[in-house]
Amino acid sequence: MEMMSRYSIKLMRYPSKRFVKFLIVGGINTLFGYSMFALLILLKFSYENAALISTMCGILFNFKTTGVIVFKNKNNTLIFKFIGVYAIIYFMQIFLLKQLIAYKINIFLAEALILLPLALGAYTLNKIFVFPKSQPRKM
């Protein structure tokens, strides 16, 4: 019984500082990416191309801010893993947009609705595959 209460207490803890930093940095990154996506939609790009271009432009910006500020890691060789994570996020984005558009949801609202689930997915994938704690930090 005591073991169960320990796990309950751990589940009720506040989010880690790293996750809070990720949300703040992610907010800045999201503002950049969403603005670019919206601009490309207004310029009559398809949502697939708008998502691809905004994702590609955001990757370099996001890599440095996420790596250095959130995960305290300056290892530039991780960019390839980071790109892999965002390739997965891109395909998730297209899948979710396609589903919401099928229900006649406005493209701007659809993109806004999927931002949080995609951000949570990106954080989890980056934490596991790109910036694990045990990895040596390079300058």
pLDDT of residue 61: 81
pLDDT of residue 5: 53
Per-residue pLDDT of the chain (139 residues; tens, 9 = 90+): 455 555 555 555 667 888 888 888 888 888 888 899 999 999 999 999 999 999 888 888 889 888 888 888 889 999 999 999 999 999 999 999 999 999 999 999 999 999 889 988 998 999 899 998 755 555 4
pLDDT of residue 62: 86
pLDDT of residue 18: 81
SS (H, E, C) the chain: CHHHHHHHHHHCCCCCHHHHHHHHHHHHHHHHHHHHHHHHHHCCCCHHHHHHHHHHHHHHHHHHHHHHHHCCCCCHHHHHHHHHHHHHHHHHHHHHHHHHHHCCCCHHHHHHHHHHHHHHHHHHHHHHHHCCCCCCCCC
